[in-house]
Amino acid sequence: MTFLAGFYVIFGEFSKKGVSIWAKTSLLACNLVACHFTMAIMFMYIHFQNDLTYFIGNMQHHSDISRFTDRSNASAVDTLPNGFFACYVTNVTWFIFGVHFMSKRVEILRDWGNSKFCVAVSMVAGFISAIMLKDDHPTFHAVADESMADAIPFSFNYRAYNHVFVHHVNGDSFGSSYIFDPMFSKAFTLLAYVHSHIFGISSPDSAQHFAVAFTFDAAQSLTIMAVLILMFSWSAKMVKVLNTDSGILAKSGAFAWCASSVFFWLFANGFIFKPTFTTD
């Protein structure tokens, strides 16, 4: 449903009369990286929330349980953490209202952004990424090896290595994202230190645990919203440069950003330069 609704909004934007196709295309291209990272961050944050709520690293999800059951953590369905869907709905709602609210109050977003369009592109981009991940996830577990440790960031090999040899080992690398993983991994380490060393909380069912987790979660959600607004503000600035008399040098830089944005999205989702593996 989110894909269909998002696609409808995007189609409506491109069907508008009185707006040049260049303006519409630049709005899409300039925001593609921000929209891709928006849903990636949402996924990482939901994963983070499941981990910090139980504070045991979701042992079933992060450990190889194939020795004890016919199920394997190579399947997203088999070991998807409880409450994942509820967290998804809550956080996407927070994202939609937050971006819409801030877009009316940040000048560059108000004048050169389009919160409804950006949300729609994020939903569509997220759906496409989810389809790719559903196919890639079992392959990660089947082909990952330590030789992939130095792979190009955001490549298939990079994500495979970090997912299998980092995430399923110590819980870090929440989304195998070279840029944003540290934001979550370091935060989780900080939370663990505050939770267990400063306050000495040992029970995941205690009031103290939930108080610390709730406070940390609230601070993290505000931080994430600030990151999203900064990303969309940069995108809006690029849209402004491309659609005003900003000078040839500025326009060249903005055009390079657009081209890089499209290339990155295709590369990060495996549409180009994705290696072929035989997993039989």
Residues 130-165 have pLDDT tens digits of 899 888 988 888 888 999 999 999 999 999 999 888
Q: What is the reported pLDDT for 115?
A: 95
Q: What is the reported pLDDT for 97?
A: 94
Is residue 278's pLDDT more than 90?
Answer: no
Q: Does residue 166 or residue 234 have the better pLDDT? A: 234
pLDDT, tens digit (0-9, with 9 covering 90-100), for 17-58? 888 999 999 999 999 999 999 999 998 888 888 766 654 445
Integer Cα distance of 187 and 102 in angstroms: 25
Query: Please, is 99 exposed, middle or buried when counting C-beta atoms within 10 Å of its C-beta (0-12, 13-18, 19+)?
Result: buried
With bands split at pLDDT 50, 70 and 90, how would you rate the model's confidence at 166? confident
Integer Cα distance of 154 and 67 in angstroms: 31
Q: What percent of the chain has pLDDT over 90?
A: 52
pLDDT, tens digit (0-9, with 9 covering 90-100), for 216-231? 889 999 999 999 999 9
Task: Identify the three-state secondary structure at position 214.
Answer: helix
CA distances from 214 to 13, 79, 218, 227 (A): 39, 24, 6, 20
Beta strands in 19-164, from DSSP E residues, in sequence order: none
Integer Cα distance of 151 and 30 in angstroms: 27
Three-state secondary structure readout of 129-169:
HHHHHHHHHHHHHHHCCHHHHHCCCCCHHHHHHHHHHHHHH
Please provide the average confidence, as pLDDT, over all residues in the chain. 86
